[in-house]
């Protein structure tokens, strides 16, 4: 990616910083998002977007300002144009810079359309081929020894109105329906299987269920049950692969199945394995996984060298949700869905307003006394990381303030975990006793 936008990805868009104790992730996360790589948000690369053939408009639903609108407008060239973007936006050079900066974790935002058989091509328009680029990048990230959080960033049916990050700018939000919950669960099952089966996915440690659902829980009916089904699908797929999940008995079908799809089908017929929706997902993901495996030339036979033994030694993925306090109006608590290792994610952008008064003193006082980690922990949402935050402010900030502002955020988000803080005592003056 161009260096100016590299800065966006590294600082302005987001970074992660937290202390986590779970298999597969470093105990202290120093992370970035690979923003706008596989889910392109035009606001992040305005000139490149215009050069690709995109448009800019005040209401992003009224012009070519999302992947959906682009693919609809350019059906014959969209795949080639996006392939060029994917190849150039995240490269080995970028990765080398991340590594040199001490980054040990990346969060990768993904759209549901990366699992291509899930897309209804009669009414949904998205580029094809992203999964091959994901694998290309994952191999490079793995070889750099960096851990990965796969984030379902853009959900089938769209989870939030008029947001570029959902892949489609529309007020017609349809994610919170049985049909689209079901597709999202199939996606989660397929990503779980790939994470454990494809060698390129080896450093994938965590799978995030839904990025930024609507904050008003009255507008997200069924989301609590979806949270439970998400964890159960991840664990059911792992059990079908023969991966031990603490607290859950192993499945006997694994030993008699010759390949992954046979094991999933057999597991889907077990009347006591979670609930009927979870079992239906196992069944419906078989043809989807088969097609994706063909695309990736991934062998699903258990009898290939050592696969069964390797799977028995694997750790389950860390399931990840936006924290309970992301929503209001009596939200469901994702802690109630937990089976095995689980973590929580909060996003904090001061620049959107509503957090603190628009001046340096108010920003510093707020962030240095941040109580989100404690408030979440009181509801069982721990460990918590800050999966998205940024340096942008509602006022013109000096470079000197931005350094202080970055250090203060890192201080509070990591609760003293430390890391390239220019001034570890940056908060001392602001902390209220």
The site for ligand NAG (CB under 6 A) is made up of 258-259, 261-262, 300-301
Residue 122 or 297: the one with the smaller Cβ distance to ligand NAG is 297
Nearer Cβ to ligand NAG (77/301): 301
Beta strands (DSSP E) in 11-87 are 15-19, 28-33
Report, in Å, the least distance between residue 303 CB and ligand NAG: 10
The residue whose two tokens read 């919950």 is 181
Give 78 or 253: the residue with its C-beta nearer to ligand NAG: 253
Burial (CB < 10 A; 0-12, 13-18, 19+), residue 122, is exposed
Residue 177 or 290: the one with the smaller Cβ distance to ligand NAG is 290
Q: How many CB atoms lie within 10 A of CB 96?
A: 12
Cis check for the bond before 260: say yes or no (omega within 30 of 0).
Answer: no
CB 110 to ligand NAG: min, Å: 25
Tokens of 149: 């959080």
Q: Which is nearer to ligand NAG, 27 or 304 (CB)?
A: 304
Q: Which is nearer to ligand NAG, 210 or 262 (CB)?
A: 262
Find the shortest distance in angstroms from Cβ 52 to ligand NAG: 38
- Which DSSP symbol is given to 186? H
Q: Is 89 helix (H, G, I), strand (E, B) or coil?
A: helix
Closest distance of CB 308 from ligand NAG, Å: 14
Write the DSSP symbol of residue 86.
Answer: H
Nearest distance, CB of residue 284 and ligand NAG, angstroms: 16
Cα–Cα distances (Å) from 237 to 147, 226, 255, 266, in that order, read 21, 16, 15, 11
- Which residues share a beta bridge with 28? 19
Output the smallest distance, CB 265 to ligand NAG, in A: 8
CB 10 within 8 A of CB 101: yes
3-class state of residue 314 by DSSP:
coil
Q: Which residues pair with 30 in a beta bridge?
A: 17
């Amino acid at each position: 990616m161009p260096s100016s936008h590299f800065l966006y990805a590294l600082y302005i868009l987001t970074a992660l910083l937290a202390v986590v104790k779970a298999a597969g992730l470093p105990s202290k996360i120093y992370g970035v998002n690979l923003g706008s790589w596989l889910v392109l948000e035009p606001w992040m690369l305005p000139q490149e977007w215009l050069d690709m053939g995109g448009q800019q408009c005040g209401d992003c639903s009224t012009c070519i300002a999302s992947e959906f609108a682009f693919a609809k407008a350019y059906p014959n060239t969209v795949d080639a144009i996006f392939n060029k973007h994917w190849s150039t936006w995240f490269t080995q050079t970028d990765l080398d810079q991340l590594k040199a900066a001490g980054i040990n974790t990346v969060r990768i935002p993904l759209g549901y359309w990366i699992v291509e058989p899930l897309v209804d091509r009669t009414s949904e328009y998205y580029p094809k081929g992203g999964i091959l680029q994901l694998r290309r990048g994952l191999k490079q990230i793995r070889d750099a020894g960096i851990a990965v959080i796969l984030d379902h960033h853009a959900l089938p049916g769209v989870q939030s109105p008029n947001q570029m990050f959902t892949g489609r700018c529309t007020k017609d939000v349809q994610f919170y329906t049985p049909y689209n919950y079901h597709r999202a669960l199939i996606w989660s099952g397929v990503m779980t299987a790939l994470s454990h089966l494809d060698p390129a996915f080896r450093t994938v440690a965590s799978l995030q269920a839904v990025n930024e659902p609507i904050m008003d829980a009255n507008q997200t009916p069924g989301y609590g049950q979806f949270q439970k089904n998400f964890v159960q699908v991840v664990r059911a797929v792992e059990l079908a692969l023969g991966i031990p999940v603490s607290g859950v008995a192993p499945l006997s079908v694994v030993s008699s199945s010759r390949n992954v799809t046979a094991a999933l089908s057999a597991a889907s017929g077990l009347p006591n394995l979670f609930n009927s929706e979870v079992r239906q997902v196992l069944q419906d993901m078989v043809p989807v996984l088969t097609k994706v495996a063909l695309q990736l030339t991934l062998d699903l036979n258990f009898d290939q060298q050592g696969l069964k033994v390797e799977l028995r030694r694997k750790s389950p993925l860390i399931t990840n949700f936006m924290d309970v306090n992301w929503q209001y109006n009596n939200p469901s608590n994702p802690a109630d869905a937990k089976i095995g290792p689980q973590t929580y994610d909060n996003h904090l952008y001061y620049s959107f307003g509503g957090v603190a008064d628009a001046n340096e003193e108010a920003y510093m006082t707020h962030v240095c006394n941040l109580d989100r980690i404690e408030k979440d922990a009181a509801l069982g949402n721990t460990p918590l990381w800050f999966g998205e935050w940024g340096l942008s402010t509602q006022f013109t900030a000096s470079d000197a303030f931005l350094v202080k502002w970055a250090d203060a955020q890192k201080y509070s988000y990591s609760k003293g975990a430390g890391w390239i803080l220019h001034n570890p005592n940056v908060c001392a003056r602001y902390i209220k006793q």
